[in-house]
Amino acid sequence: MAGFYLHIPFCRKACHYCDFHFSTQLSKIDEMVAAMKQEIDSRASDWSDTVFETIYLGGGTPSLLGIDQLKDLIDHAYDKLAFSADLEFTLECNPEDITAERLSPVEGARREQTQHRHSVF
């Protein structure tokens, strides 16, 4: 089973106990999204025979992405890679970030049969 993982390395503040890779420079998120799209482009041919069954956005705090940033990244992945019809989509969220609008890029994923599982931390 192939899973597609995107690490979103940003957090609002640094938790003193945390060993994950992250930055609190939120002004860099647009640059990171552009770099991740380039990385998807550069690796897409390696995965031309792969059908991903899961997408997992972890962090960091993926729910810090703006709605447009999240949609841009997800749509780009859908354009360049192949995903299963019963795709499982996981987005790690801060509870304070969860709104219907923020989750709309996930809920509005172009694959109607997509199953969603939202992890909250």
Which phi and psi (to 5°) does residue 71 adopt?
-65, -40
Q: Identify the three-state secondary structure at position 121.
A: coil
Among 4, 6, 8, 22, binds ligand SF4 (CB under 6 A): 22
Nearer to ligand SF4, 8 or 40 (CB): 8
Element (H, E) at 70: helix 67-80
| Residue 105 interacts with ligand SF4 (CB under 6 A): yes or no | no
By rule CB under 6 A, what count of residues binds ligand SF4? Answer: 9
Bridge partners of 115? 88
Token code pair at residue 104: 């709309």
Helix (H) or strand (E) holding 56: strand 51-59
Q: How far is the CB of 68 from ligand SF4 (least distance, A)?
A: 22
Rounded CA separation 67/72 (Å): 8
Nearer to ligand SF4, 60 or 105 (CB): 60
Site string for ligand SF4, 41-60 (x = CB under 6 A): ------------------xx
Tell me the residue type at 71: K
Instruction: Please choose, out of 11-19, 26-34, 42-50, 79-87, the segment that lies near ligand SF4 by the rule CB under 6 A.
Output: 11-19
- Interaction site with ligand SF4 (CB under 6 A): 11, 14-15, 18, 20, 22, 59-61
